[in-house]
Amino acid sequence: MEHYFSIFIAAMLINNVILSQFLGICPFLGVSKKMSTAVGMSGAVLFVIVMSCMVTYPVWRLLNRFNLNYMRTIIFILLIATLVQLVEIILRKMMPSLYKALGVYLPLITTNCAVLGTTIKAAEGGFSLLESIVYSLGVSCGFFLAIVIMAGIRERLDNNKDIPKAFQGMPITLITAGLMAIAFFGFGG
């Protein structure tokens, strides 16, 4: 139990996907303008990361058995793309309310490097199935945390008129991200 807990915490705080691994920067900067979109996006990411870790795990085992490790990039990206499409179709049919909340973000996720990065890392880390599920949960919670904090700060930044002109918009966002990264650095001890 403790072991799983430490995997979770390490993935969520110490090696935060965005702020120390730099995965998923595009959505982090792109959709963090508003709180509602940030929450929607990270919900969708959580869903897809956990699902794809579960799906890629047996496939990775199979590839290992046949010594086809070098195929992982192609296979994983294909699996993720298919999975996202499937999830989209299933959600549309079965849970229209959830689809409405997450639907817009789902297609964007295929090319979100956080998903591919997490599955590859889980595969290379030699995790068991349960470990990789816990790991992926931790990663996506970290994503959620970072993007929601960022959205909260950015909503406030928009009202601030004191920012120098050259720094408005993107640069100030990046600096905020840098300061957040320093804060998260503290978790590393």
Q: Is 178 in the site for other proteins (CB under 8 A)?
A: yes
Containing H/E element for 29? helix 25-30
| Member of 90, 95, 130, 175 binding other proteins (CB under 8 A) | 175
Quote the longest CA-to-CA distance of the chain: 60
Q: Is 113 in the site for other proteins (CB under 8 A)?
A: yes
Q: Is 49 in the site for other proteins (CB under 8 A)?
A: no
Q: What's at 79, amino acid-wise?
A: L
Residue 96 or 169: the one with the smaller Cβ distance to other proteins is: 169
User: CA neighbours within 13 Å on the CB side: how many for 35?
Assistant: 6
Residue 5 or 89: the one with the smaller Cβ distance to other proteins is: 89
User: CA neighbours within 13 Å on the CB side: how many for 173?
Assistant: 20
DSSP 8-state class, residue 163? S
SS3 category, 66: coil
Q: Which stretch binds other proteins (CB under 8 A): 39-47, 54-62, 146-154, 163-171?
A: 163-171
| Member of 9, 55, 101, 181 binding other proteins (CB under 8 A) | 181
Q: Is 10 in the site for other proteins (CB under 8 A)?
A: no
As a whole number of angstroms, the distance between CA 136 and CA 121 comes to 10
Residue 5 or 36: the one with the smaller Cβ distance to other proteins is: 36
